[in-house]
Structure 1
Amino acid sequence: MTKTPLPAGAAVYEVGGAVRDALLGRAVHDHDWVVVGTDPQAMQAAGFVPVGRDFPVFLHPETHEEYALARSERKTAPGYRGFVFHAAADVTLEQDLARRDLTINAIARAADGTLVDPFGGRRDLEARVLRHVSPAFAEDPVRILRLARFAARFDDFTVAPETMKLMRGMVCDGEADALVPERVWQELSRGLMEAKPSRMFELLRECGALKRLLPEVERLWGVPQPEAHHPEIDTGVHLMMVLDMAARLGAPLAVRYACLCHDLGKGTTPAELLPRHLGHEGRSVRLLKAMSARLRVPNDCRELAEVVAREHGNLHRSDGLDAAALLRLLERCDALRQPQRFDAVLLACECDARGRLGLQQRPYPQAERLRAARDAALGVATAEIAERAAAAGARGPRIGEAIQAARRAAIEARLG
């Protein structure tokens, strides 16, 4: 622990994820510190720089790490913003730990290494249990999302029955409805990047929050698919397998979001068309556009998801396409203008193809063939072709046709 020029009578403790991860034997990247027995004025006098907007947080003058004053809180209005905080010299360490979400995050470590664990966090770490610290958990709906995200990170942990009951009550009471889009996306995006993202969605579904937050995703469970292509049959089960495959392959966030959205249209397939899903691609695009707008999803995630939703079936079937059809497919995916994004499209499609029961080890040769076709088309010297065509008297569309013909020829020569 860093030596600090703390005010007289103050004590500093390391808290939260750093203590939890150290006890689990995981790598610790960030440190959180809480200071007990002092006030904001004394912290500033000691050289700490105030940065907290809602409650007193300070930057250490040497390490620039954040130090927060111990604080208690009181619920005053619905939603995660409806709190009044009290930070003063008389707030104890236990009071500060009591306002935290889970017992495993409510462990503190003193400067001499002594652990302060008033709520049984070490016991729950050993038992691999996610348990709320107190009934105050129900006052902040963001904690539903945080717990689901932790379940995706610590995939061998279970949720305490009383905690699941509490979360269900929060959903029934409308607390989840008070979540603002930015916080939903913040936690969702972080959960998608965890080791087993399927657990986040499974827990949100179990407590009823998924139906409130992401109804487009919730309705996929129980929807059948043709067993010949989907041995797992259930569309929701398939989606979870695709997300976990994306994690297994180390996919970036935009790819994982595309995986989440690629089959949304199957949830609205008319009953008479089941188990086939004709036209689900267009429905998926419409649904993900609305969902992305509601959650204020970044453009790179939304745009990639739209391409994958619209074209993944065509990309899967591309091994039977000739050079002309391949070029049209590449152009629809904007693969020639955005070749790196096209690699991300192919990765999402590979996750989809391998996120199926018994097919997780199956190769995805379509990606190699499509990349070869893209590279062949990109290798065409378009400026030279345009110059020669213009010299021969071609104008406007005719020049474009000459370039297209050269690209088709290049693809055909590369693929044989």
Structure 2
Amino acid sequence: MHIYKVGGAVRDRLLGLPVSDTDWLVVGATVEDMHAKGYRPVGTDFPVFVDPHTGDEYALARTERKSGRGYGGFTFYASPDVTLEEDLIRRDLTINAMAEDEHGKVYDPYHGQDDLEKRLLRHVSPAFAEDPLRVLRVARFTARYAPMGFRIADDTLSLMQQISASGELQALTAERSWKEIQRALMEAQPQVFFQVLDACQALEQMMPELHRGPLCLAALQQAAAHAQPLHVRWACLLGRLAPEQVKAVNKRLKAPRECQELAQLTSQCLTLADSALELPATGLLELLQRFDVYRRPQRFEDFIAACEMTALGDGKAAYPQADHLRSAAAAARAVDAQPLVQAGLTGQALGEALKAERLKALQP
């Protein structure tokens, strides 16, 4: 039995980057061997085990064969006779197809270190084209390593275009697609992810609304530069689409509720926020009510952030509407309902009196 570090842990160490997760590959072992050493099996697709003491995952060396459509359409073969080279050749990129033994020796049969030096994302073998998920993964890696000057090899981009043309992307589940999109959105240059998808004709299949509509990549880039959270980045990306388009994208990809809500509201209210300095008190109050700023103040703050990032993406030096909107929200929230209740107002009468007091508070 031989155990190797594989994939990202080797790649990032060679790049001088922090290593957050370590994946291990076990060559020359059986399922029974792993059980005997106390490792717990996880999943059912192929033999992966967890070390109960460290939580690290150990996978038996395996080969795979295409047997159906999509990400899950593979048959796996794990056996002690599967070699290290046979396991590594099934991986996506050469820079992910390296292994390191316990002594620090790097095994690099497919020249991943050369491609690290060349800042090149290159597929390991023609089998790359069998897995449509790799289109998203390579786009995500490009977004991650773009600050270091990485680019996609021409022949790899050509394979990605072939995958897009084959219709295989349609076989990806919404959950699997969103997982990659979510990770890409949190990279240092997430706009690169969508640029790559557009370049290989995948964007028009997966998110046709973005392909045909206004791509707010500059807003997304600003959101990343200002370390905005996931739902704000998502709202920046979709903010200039029509509300019905945002609804369609959210439904297709099954985005988390917080992402869906903020993107939908940003699409509906971005123009209103941009004109906030000219809005009368009634218009301001209507905007605040739509966000339920009394019970959910953070959602309105996130909306302001999305508007501000969009303005910065448009090349504006500042967004004075942000402070105006924050002041309006604070003034409306400061209205105390208690005196009105003590005066005996209830139901609709209380609601109308509260609205009147808030309008007074919003008067210039």
Residue-by-residue CA offset, 1:154-182 (whole Å, 9 max, x unaligned): 11211100001111111122222221211
**2:237 aligned residue:** 260
Match of 1:165 among 154, 158, 162: 158
Amino acid at match of 1:12: I
> What residue in structure 2 maps to residue 331 of structure 1?
289
For residue 270 of structure 2, what is the aligned residue in structure 1? Answer: 312
Q: Which amino acid aligns with 2:234?
A: Y
Provide the rounded CA distance (Å) in 2 between the counterparts of 1:215 and 1:64.
40
Name the structure 1 match of 2:319: 364
The amino acid of 2:169's aligned partner reads: A
Task: Quote the residue 2:122 is aligned against.
Answer: 131
- The 8 Å contact of residues 288 and 329 in structure 2, kept in 1 or not, is answered as yes
1:15 is aligned to 2:6: yes
- For residues 383 and 317 of structure 1, the distance between their equivalents in structure 2, rounded to whole angstroms, comes to 33
What letter corresponds to residue 75 of structure 2 in structure 1? V
- 2:139 aligned residue: 148
CA distance in 2, matches of 1:47, 1:398: 68
- AA aligned to 1:82 is G
Match of 2:353 in 1: 402
2:312 to 354, 366, 375: 354
Q: Could you say what secondary structure the match of 2:264 adopts? A: helix
TM-score (norm 2): 0.96
Give the drift of 1:322.
Answer: 3.3
Displacement, 1:332? 1.9
Determine the structure 2 residue equivalent to 1:287: 245
8 Å CA contact retained: 1:386, 1:403:
no
Q: Deviations over 1:4-30 (max 9, x none)?
A: xxxxxx111001111111111111111
Structure 1 residue 395 displacement after superposition:
4.7
- 1:237-279 Cα deviation digits (max 9, x unpaired): xx11111111111111111111121122xxxxxxxxxxxxxxx
Distance 2:60 2:348 in 1: 68
Q: CA deviation at 1:140?
A: 0.3
* Alpha-carbon distance between aligned partners in 1 of 2:179 and 2:52, rounded to the nearest angstrom: 29
Between stretches 39-48 and 319-328, larger displacement belongs to: 319-328
Is 1:322 the counterpart of 2:280 in the alignment?
A: yes
Alignment of 1:3-402 (within 5 A): 10-155=1-146, 156-220=149-213, 235-236=214-215, 239-264=216-241, 284-356=242-314, 358-359=315-316, 362-388=317-343, 390=344, 394-402=345-353
Distance 1:118 1:189 in 2: 32
Aligned length in residues:
362
TM-score by length of 1: 0.84
Amino acid in structure 2 at the alignment position of 1:251: Q
Q: Which amino acid aligns with 2:225?
A: R
* Cα RMSD, aligned residues only: 1.3
CA distance in 2, matches of 1:173, 1:399: 61
Superposition misfits of 4+ residues, deviation over 4 angstroms: none
Aligned counterparts of 2:79 and 2:319: Cα–Cα separation in 1: 60
Corresponding residue of 1:280: none
Q: Deviations over 1:217-252 (max 9, x none)?
A: 0012xxxxxxxxxxxxxx43xx11111111111111
| Range with greater deviation from structure 2 (330-339 or 208-217) | 330-339
Q: Which amino acid aligns with 1:28?
A: V
The answer to whether the Cα contact below 8 Å between 2:92 and 2:128 also exists between their aligned partners in 1 is: yes
Deviation of the 1:336 alpha carbon? 2.3
Identity over aligned residues, as a percent?
Answer: 48
Q: Say which SS state the counterpart of residue 154 (structure 1) adopts.
A: helix
Asked if the contact 2:293/2:333 (under 8 Å) is kept, the reply is: no
Structure 2 counterpart of 1:190, one-letter code: R
Structure 1 CA distance for aligned equivalents of residues 120 and 76 of structure 2: 29
Q: Distance between the aligned counterparts of 1:199 and 1:309, measured in 2?
A: 22
Q: What CA deviation, in whole Å up to 9, does each residue of 1:353-373 have, x standing for no partner?
A: 1112x43xx111211111111
Unaligned runs of 5+ in 1: 1-9, 221-234, 265-283
Tell me how far 1:333 sits from its aligned partner. Answer: 2.5
Contact preservation (8 Å) 1:20, 1:104: yes
Q: Unmatched 5+ residue regions in structure 2?
A: none
Q: Bigger CA drift: 319-328 or 11-20?
A: 319-328
Measured after TM superposition, the shift of residue 337 of structure 1 is: 2.4
Letter in 2 for 1:201: F
Tell me the distance in 2 between the aligned counterparts of 1:302 and 1:315: 19
